[in-house]
Amino acid sequence: MAEIDRDALKLEMTGWRRDLHAHPEFGFEEKRTAAFVAAKLREFGLDDVAEGVGGTGVVGTLKRGSGNRAIALRADMDALRISEQSTLPYRSGNPGLMHACGHDGHTAMLLGAAKLLAGEGGFDGTVRFIFQPAEEWGKGALAMLDDGLMQRFPFDEIFGLHNVPGLPIGHFETRAGPVMSAEDIFEIVLSGLRGHAARPHSGQETLVAACALVTNLQTIVSRRLSPADISVVSVTELITDGTRNALPGLARILGDARSFRPEVSAEIERQMRIIAEGIAAAYNVTAEVNYTREFVPLRNDAELVDAAFAAARTVFEPGNIAVAREPRTASEDFARFLDHVPGCFVFLGNGEVSAPLHNSGYDFNDDGLLFGVDFHVAIARQRLGT
């Protein structure tokens, strides 16, 4: 097999990435993106390309040799409902949508790895290239699994990656055990009696109660959970039906909670209900708590973390490889795959001057593309050694 020109590959991937950036699509709406991915995989000569898995997901299969083991490499394809604030020539052409998390880069890197492995081989077994929809709202992995991913395209282990703003290009991090947190979503509705702003005693207004509740929710982490357990409770919205001269009779408090163990998640919910009921009683209103679990904790398999570090040593400079010091309190639905097979999720630098993820000025750094390709290829060849 002919060796692929790396400079040409980087130039090609940059073109793919910027095209995807200019055409962002929200979760389960990635029709153009999925068609683009499927066309490229067929162009590379993969053995099978399946579309529509879990809605808009794509799975490419590449087999070499006679090995009976299979691994999966996963990238996410969806964009966010954020309006891009940039003057880039390839800025989003879809109003209100942008690739503010680098999924355009993740997709381009996995496509590059598929092209290189299809062209050069170097492994014995099966590689599944999983292009997942709807990661941002935690539904895409479950949709693919519910659509028979493991039965239709079985694999023994799975690897994924994410770019990290602030981490220099060419740097690599991961860790064994907990890597990314669960995310729970909550809504607390306080109901009372709307009234005139000049006569607060004649109604059961909810705004003061809501303010007290927001303040007291902060004691869940600081006073009601063990300091040994990393957790976060964040109120992100307070909405009422009040106006300039009318006290509200309805207040909605929305937010999310992060944790790394199911027991902690359960205790956060329990304490939230206790606080909400107590505040409601004190202010003569009623409280309804709606609490749902959107993402589960992501825990890396220790053996596959060792394998990832071994592969990384063939790609990155020794001083640029590190054990992540602590878990990240962001969430990733890659964790759903780990309920079925062992896996490892790693982090690659997006540059020290990169805007933060989910920021309207963010852009994936194309200088990191080949590092992602090389890691994917190295782990595939290591785990499916000839």
Q: Are residues 141 and 11 in the same domain?
A: yes
Inside any domain, residue 105: yes
pLDDT by 10-residue block (mean), the chain, 386 residues: 89 98 98 98 98 98 97 98 97 98 98 98 98 97 98 98 98 98 98 94 95 98 94 97 96 97 97 98 98 96 98 98 95 97 98 97 98 98 92
Tell me the residue range of the domain where 329 lies: 6-180+297-383
Whether residues 206 and 324 fall in one domain? no
Task: Looking at the structure, tell me whether residues 200 and 239 fall in a common domain.
Answer: yes
Q: Would 1 be classed as within a structural domain? A: no
112 and 35 both lie in a single domain: yes
pLDDT at 2: 72
Q: What angle do CA 61, 376, 134 make, to 5 degrees?
A: 70
The per-residue pLDDT for 3 is: 87
Identity at 256, one-letter amino acid code: D
Same domain, 360 and 224: no
Q: Are 71 and 383 in contact (CB under 8 A)?
A: yes
- Predicted pLDDT at 13: 98
> Does 59 lie in the same domain as 171?
yes
d(CA 98, CA 363): 10
Domain of residue 231, CATH code: 3.30.70.360
CB of 190 within 8 A of CB of 238?
no
Total domains in the fold of the chain: 2
Q: Are 129 and 118 part of one and the same domain?
A: yes
Residue at 324 is within a domain:
yes
Domain end (from 295, 328, 361):
295
- Asked if 330 contacts 234 with a C-beta cutoff of 8 angstroms, the reply is no
Could you tell me if 256 and 234 are in contact, meaning their C-beta atoms sit under 8 angstroms apart? yes
User: Which strand ranges, in their side-by-side order, compose the sheet holding 48-53?
Assistant: 48-53, 57-64, 125-132, 70-76, 157-164, 343-349, 172-174, 321-323
Q: Do 192 and 163 fall into the same domain?
A: no
In a domain, 338, yes or no: yes
User: Domain boundary residue among 279, 295, 311?
Assistant: 295
Q: Of the candidates 295, 313, 346, which is a domain's last residue?
A: 295
Q: What is the pTM of this model?
A: 0.93
Count CB neighbours of 243 within 10 A. Answer: 10
CA angle (342, 101, 380) in 5-degree steps = 35
Let me know if residue 99 belongs to a domain: yes
> In this structure, are 193 and 154 located in the same domain?
no
Is residue 21 included in any domain, yes or no? yes
Name the residue with tokens 């282990």.
Answer: 157
Q: How far is CA 305 from CA 12, 154, 175, 309, in A?
A: 30, 21, 7, 6
Provide the CATH number for the domain around residue 45: 3.40.630.10
Tell me the CB-side half-sphere exposure of residue 18, using CA atoms within 13 A. Answer: 13
